[in-house]
Chains A and B, each alone.
Chain A
Amino acid sequence: MGMHKKKTIHSVMFHVGACLLGFVMIYPLLWLLASSFKSNDTMFLNPYSLIPEVWDAAKNYASGLEGVGGVPFWRFLLNSFEVTIVGMVGCVLSSLFAAYAFARIRFRFGNFWFGCVMMTMMIPAQVMVVPQYIILKKLNLIDTKVALVLPWVFGGAFFIFLMVQFFQGIPRELDEAAEIDGCGRISTLFRILVPVVQPAIITSSIFAFYWIWQDFFQPLIFISSPENFTIPLALNMYLDPDSYNNYGGLFAMSVISLIPIIIFFIIFQRYLVEGIAMDGIKG
């Protein structure tokens, strides 16, 4: 009984603390949501308040969905989805292959290539964008969605490094046994290793999704036509410090653009929890 009570107190304390922290974490999002309901004129008169004085949600969301320069908002949304999904799937798979190679296969200059992976993580994107632009232009890919996918689809340093670390946490006997059983490399990877590193794959997918989704700088430089704009570019079009800014529409669009990432995260974080424990395989 006493034991049970202690457990309850613990649990209550945990939830109170977790909720408090949660509020601090989510406050800007609540603020964004509240502001997207406020009318443009009153938005900043009482900026702290999370409860709109003058409700203007319908107008804000309508003007947001209208889009900019004759291109409707759903077009931007669709572009973002296309680029993000193709980029994410390609990125995770390519990284998985590369990570497997680095972790399990001995090949010449292995360390050198791994150094190259690390290097791509270190160099700031801001100086790479001009040379990349020149290459994409030579390939006639400027102002196409292919240009947006290209930097991602062949894998990324972060993901390769993450998965290599996970592979190295797996006993080598596991795949050696599989190879003795006559499994090729591909089937060893997919049958034996992928289930074990599933949390890393899920984590990578979550990161890839939102990185590609919210990428601003590369689309900014590579894309010119509004028909090909992704969400962050569309949002940027709303802002000019020297003219009257439609903050209501901007915040409404921001809210809509965050929904897919949050849904994606909510769905996939479940698989993090249900990640297959290694015991099952060992036994």
Chain B
Amino acid sequence: MLTPWLFGFVLMWLIPMIISIYYSLTDFNLLNTPSFIGLDNYVRAFTGDATFWQALKVTFIYVFFLVPLRLAFALFVAMLLNKDHRGLGLYRTLYYIPSIIGGSIAVSIVWKQIFGNQGVAMTLLGAFGIEQKTSFLGNTHTALGVIILMGVWQFGSSMLIFLSALKQIPGSLYESAMVDGAKPWKVFTKITLPMLTPTIFFNLILQIVNGFRVFTESYVITDGGPLDSTLSYVLYMYRRAFTYFDMGYSCALAWILVAIIGVFTVVLFKTQGSWVHYEAGRE
């Protein structure tokens, strides 16, 4: 059963991973022959690269705010759309659209217009008497906030996953709760939430993994600026690899990131026994 995946894994992932680990131990600019330099790239990241720490900081802040906000919002909307209303299919489609058009040029232009100088956001604040000199995207303190907001805006995928999980909860559970006369909040905390924990767990892991790998938003909207205040880790890694011809170092950065995400994932997997509820039971 595992064979197709295993085949693809070895070919497209395992071998490239080994190669990239090797690159991370070399001085490799893509055009030369890689020369082995041991752990120098890793040492350089931790001791001699201020931008590395800046990118790490930006990414941690991003993940810290984005993940809970996006999940809460996605769950909230999914619950709303799980009711019996007319036109739900339309709303589902509308809400999913931001995730589809993702990092396209149209989105980038529109977001820059809304949150840029003289944009809608500034005009609105101005109407409330709050005058600002710099725009949200032009301010080193708020630009990352706009990027996070954009991430929340693209909550469609998480919403879909929640929706399909809500559909999977047996209706009989709710029926018996109704018979017992349970209040909606109680139904939510005693039935819906526990039954959703595997999906919440999944979404949590997924959003953390994807959050740490955020690239498109900061690449398309701000290109890391102003003054590196939205420079995400992967954007920096990408620049190192292809703009600065520093592939060896870039691979080292990639593996440092894998280690960081790995720690978060392992911790979550270890703790899931205490809060994630599986029908099938865990062995």
Contact = CB atoms under 8 A, between A and B. Distances in A.
Interface of A: 11, 14-15, 18, 21-22, 24-29, 31-32, 35, 47-48, 90, 93-95, 97-98, 100-103, 105-107, 113, 116-124, 126-128, 130-132, 134-135, 150-151, 153-155, 158, 160-162, 165-172, 185, 196-197, 199-200, 202-203, 206-207, 210, 214, 235, 239, 250-251, 254, 258, 261-262, 265-266, 269-270, 272-273, 275, 277-279, 282
A89 to B, nearest CB: 12
A147 to B, nearest CB: 10
Contacts of B183: none
B1 A278 contact: no
Given A131-B15, A168-B280, A265 B93 contact: yes
A199 B280 contact: no
Contact of B113 (A48, A199, A250, A270): A48
A98 B280 CA distance: 17
Contacts, number: 260
Interface in B80-97: 80, 83, 85-97
Given A132-B16, A239-B105, A25 B89 contact: no
A134 B19 contact: yes
Interface residues of B, number: 93
A61 B152 CA distance: 33
Contact of B241 (A121, A122, A126, A135): A126
Contacts of B6: 113
Contact of A258 (B101, B237, B282): B101
Dominant SS at the B interface? helix
A265 B215 CA distance: 25
Contacts of A98: 1-2, 4-5
Dominant SS at the A interface? helix
A93 B168 CA distance: 20
Interface in B210-232: 212-213, 215
Interface stretch (B41-49, B129-137, B251-259): B251-259
B243 to A, nearest CB: 11
Contacts of A94: 4-5, 8
11 contacts: A28-B101, A90-B4, A100-B1, A107-B2, A126-B238, A127-B247, A154-B8, A155-B8, A168-B279, A272-B167, A273-B167
B171 to A, nearest CB: 5
A143 to B, nearest CB: 17
Contacts of B19: 130-131, 134
Given A29-B97, A154-B7, A170-B280, 9 more contacts: A22-B95, A98-B1, A117-B9, A122-B213, A124-B215, A199-B165, A202-B164, A266-B89, A269-B89
A124 B234 contact: yes
B191 interface: no
